[in-house]
Structure 1
Amino acid sequence: MQLFTTPYHYNLLSDYERLSAFFYAIQENSKGIVYDIGTGSGVLSIFASPYAKKVYAIELNQNASLCALENFKSYPNIQLISGDAKNIEFREKADLIICEMLDTALIDEEQIPVIKNMSQYLKKNGKIIPYKILTGIEPVSMKAEHICYENEELPYQEVLGDLQIYNEINFIKEIKENLNVDLQIKINKKGTFSGVKLTSFTLLTQDMVCGPTPMMNPPMFIPTSKINVEKNNKIRINLKYQMGGGLDSIRIKAKKIFK
């Protein structure tokens, strides 16, 4: 499949693990009326087209919209709508809503604000892809002193403890955008605790898990104050952020528990 695309969406299309997972989830769940929010190049709408009566593809970015319009020429049941999905009033209710505006812990993309608006247009037994997001936290020793994502150029980060799931978002249910959680994390090895690693796992359907992948929810590192730790020490973490509020909304405090 050859598609017109922006440079950013070209990178998304190159993430084959992400793309194939969405393909199978959409293939299994598409029917009737489908909304594809943040369609980008339109590839997810194209996946849904053979199984849906009508696909509404919504895109805010003008350059991406122009690419999608070209890509939809051979798909008469796909209609492009240019605009912000948070502000559009739709006339039909959906059997399926696809919204891949994901980011680690749902912090730096507008997945949550968009889904909260779109849920009113979902039929009673309608479905949303993705179905759920799980986010976990690990204590780390990190060199970077700023929030960053995992990539090949990032200095080595040493994980000091086990992954602990602290947040579970089911997109069908009511969602609170502001998170404020107190956690107690056990240290498994001696070192310098200086940050946390957040990892999000995407359940596209109830039985299909994907990610993180290079272009979907790469792990995020958040620095904290430095604390010398020994094996079996415990760290108390207070983590706050707004889902959809951007990286500037992140606040974190950490201290060793003395007993």
Structure 2
Amino acid sequence: MSIFSDQLGVFIQGMTRPDLLQQYLKSKFNETQIQTAYHARIAEAKELAKEEGITALQAFWKLLERTYEKTLPPRTCEKGCGYCCYQGVALTQLEWDGILKLAKEKNIDFNAIIERSQRTIDRVEKTIQSDKALDQIDWHNLVVNQPCPFLEEDHSCAVYEARPLDCRLVVAFRDVCGSKKLEHAQRGSVIDEAVGATVIARLQYDQTPKFKRRKFTGDQPLRLIQHWLILWRDKQGKKKRR
């Protein structure tokens, strides 16, 4: 299957295989560039976090935003477009912790979030409880075309400041997308697309107590947002029963 791209990135519309994006990234950035960017982002995130008194992940988000602003044309994405919020979004524990932190600051009612997303949450929970091997499940197709639990009625994001990497890498430069086909959306615009997941994995690894660490493998477990909400709900239920 062919993919369509321009000097800014690869277009999402019509791209159904994740490996095509990886192929594009390997053709755009060489291994030396990727390794250099990876080590630079780790060091820069830790330094910025220390300077500003924020978490390393928040610092990485700032660095990513700076890269977009300094190296690319203005994005046409705007508050309320929301069509990219009907995809399956997977995130790490570190990213989920960032959402929990923001939710506490903004007093977001997770029970209300779960209630309005019950349909997809039930679907994910049923799959988790099945006998299927979880690493063999197409999680994206399980929730595709369903709104993200954090998508508000006005199509804004309730946790925008802490949105995961998956969300931050979907951008548009030509125009605002007018449908779920994401006809203007692109990925692979910045080298952070090639290193971001590994950077986050490393930041999470470095924050893990040493006695709990295993050898760093370059990644961390990913779960759908709906899965994280299920885990949060179950944890709250256990607290109430104590």
- With normalisation by structure 2, the TM-score equals 0.26
**Structure that is richer in strand per residue:** 1
**Structure that is richer in helix per residue:** 2
The answer to which structure, 1 or 2, has the higher relative contact order (CA under 8 A, 6+ apart) is 2
